[in-house]
Amino acid sequence: MTAAINVVVLAAGMGKRMRSRTPKVLHRLAGKPLLEHVLRAARVLRPAPARLCVVYGHGGEMVPAAFEAKDVSFARQEPQLGTGHAVQQALPHLDDSLPTLVLYGDVPLVRTETLSGLIAAAGEGLGVLTVALDDPSGYGRIVRDAAGRIAAIVEEKDASAEQKAIGEVNTGIMLLPRKRLPGWLAGLTNDNAQGEFYLTDVVRVALADGVPVVAVQAQAEWETLGVNSKSQLAQLERIAQQRIANALLEQGVTLADPARIDVRGTLSAGRDVQIDVNCIFEGDVRLGDEVTIGAHCVLRDVAIAAGSEILPFCHLEGGEIGRNCRIGPFARMRPGTGLGAEVHIGNFVEVKASSMGEGSKANHLAYVGDSIVGRNVNIGAGTITCNYDGADKHRTTIEDDVHIGSDVQLVAPVTVGRGATVGAGTTVWQDVPPGGLALNRKDQVHRPHWKRPIKAPR
């Protein structure tokens, strides 16, 4: 096997059926652009890619801007004159002493193992990845000779009725032998129904040159499927999510319904993790042992330590949750938040850019923003930290063992000292000393024999 290869990813197509200004390869599958899936499969190939070139066109510089990386070069195809013409644009970026693997930016689920198998089987020849389809409509057919060897690849618009009945089709993925590629591409013509320079025509040239052409069939049809419409994108999304769900089940995660989970990034889970239905995981999510996620939760870039329970309908983003916490239902955690062990965040509580120490609780209808909350603090229902003065954010500090009653407003910057108590309904404008009681005095008025207003009859 060769020590290294070139990889060319064709990503210049307009994708008219997507009906979008966004280049097709930037549409997302499982939370990542289609092209990112292909690049990820290429990067972990063995042999490794020595040169990795993306051929782009539709959408201008949007594709290079989205995938700036030291290991990727970009070649613009303008106008788009077919796949053979596209690969020709990549030639200046390639090492002509190495074979070249051609991939497609809109075929996102191809497995690295399949590509490695194609490279190994091709050797010094030309390798073609094929797949057998019940309905081969739209694909180029693999035509074989009497001995079963590939004789040609015929595009559907140029195929005869007999050729259209062939079920084995070309996926477009090829390994092209070293040094021959420039000459083969220069000899292509566009004498076909599409008026394009087909890359598949190099098969005919290779056979004429006595170069062996080897076909390798993909094990699964889904890894060769391309995206040309929003409908096809939705179909591949379900395939991708089912694969992710199966992998989680194999790892020992309990999924209430494997068909109702969406992972749009990476999800790592410890032992005995349970996930209820309709949960969405985005970015990088890490779940410790025995974590439970209730139904209809959205988690983005969050780490949850062992034994914690997330009740239904929570939205957690950008923070860390300690051991044995209880969050929700209907709780929100915004970026920059860190919760210690055994913290309770209850229904309709929002915590933003704040830390809460071990054993602290905010169980009902509270907002904690830009705050440092110590250990064993109780924050009563309806309490809010008033952290924004219209221009700047300010810090609230609540030290250990503080008890805050219901309906309290803490006007930052302010500190509530260790062990202090804040009475219900208090607006705290000044620092509260440790161990004391803070309250706003209010007189309660009684009016005997007062009558409640009654609606006038209509």
**Each residue's pLDDT tens digit, 260-318:** 999 999 999 999 999 999 999 999 999 999 999 999 999 999 999 999 999 999 999 99
| Residue at a domain's end among 205, 224, 243 | 224
Q: What is the pLDDT of residues 181-223, one digit of tens each?
A: 999 999 999 988 888 998 989 998 999 999 999 999 998 999 9
215, 241: one domain: no
Residues 339, 203 within the same domain: no
244 and 160 in a single domain? The answer is no
| Amino acid 15: pLDDT | 80
Whether 451 is in a domain gets the answer no
Asked if pLDDT for residue 233 goes beyond 70, the answer is yes
Residue 121: φ, ψ to 5°: -70, -35
Residue that finishes a domain, picked among 224, 257, 274: 224
Single out the catalytic residue among 93, 315, 364, 394.
Answer: 364
Which tokens hold the place of 43?
Answer: 């990067």
In the Cβ-directed half-sphere of 20, how many Cα atoms lie within 13 Å?
Answer: 14
> Per-residue pLDDT tens for 397-430?
999 999 999 999 999 999 999 999 999 999 999 9
- Mean pLDDT of the residues in the chain: 94
Of the candidates 53, 48, 50, the residue with the CA atom closest to the CA atom of residue 97: 50
Q: Is 441 helix (H, G, I), strand (E, B) or coil?
A: coil
Is pLDDT at 57 greater than 80 in this prediction? yes
Residues 194 and 298 in one domain: no
Instruction: Please state, in angstroms and rounded to a whole number, the distance separating the CA atoms of residues 458 and 453.
Output: 15
User: Is residue 458 over pLDDT 90?
Assistant: no
418 and 400, same structural domain? yes
- Sequence letter at residue 339: L
Q: How many residues does the chain have?
A: 458
Give the model's pLDDT for residue 387: 94
User: b/e map of 398-428 (b: 16 or more CB within 10 Å)?
Assistant: bbbbbbbbbbbbbbbebbbbbbbbbbeebeb
Residue type, 22: T
Name the CA dihedral angle for 351, 364, 445, 451, rounded to a multiple of 10 degrees. Answer: 130
Q: Are residues 206 and 258 in the same domain?
A: no
In a domain, 270, yes or no: yes
Model pTM?
0.90
What pLDDT score was predicted for residue 371?
A: 98
Q: Which two tokens stand for residue 125?
A: 């020849």
For residues 273 and 50, what is the distance between their CA atoms, to the nearest angstrom?
40
Say whether 158 sits in a helix, a strand or coil. helix
**Do 382 and 400 belong together in one domain?**
yes
Q: Give how many domains the chain has, as a whole number.
A: 2
224, 242, 260: which is the final residue of a domain? Answer: 224
DSSP class of residue 3?
S
Q: How far apart are CA 61 and CA 67, in angstroms?
A: 10
| Catalytic status, residue 93 | no
* Predicted local distance difference test score (pLDDT) of residue 55: 96
The answer as to whether 457 is a domain residue is no
Q: Where are the beta strands (DSSP E) in 139-255?
A: 141-144, 150-154, 168-176, 213-217, 254-255
d(CA 45, CA 22): 29
CATH number of the CATH domain containing 205: 3.90.550.10
Amino acid at 65: A
The boundaries of the domain holding residue 351 are 230-438
Same domain, 253 and 174: no
Whether residues 277 and 340 fall in one domain: yes
The per-residue pLDDT for 383 is 98
CA nearest neighbour of 50 among 9, 18, 4, 84: 4
Q: What is the pLDDT of residues 432-456, one digit of tens each?
A: 999 999 999 888 888 888 888 888 8
Please say whether the beta carbons of 155 and 83 come within 8 A. no
The answer to whether position 186 is within a domain reads yes
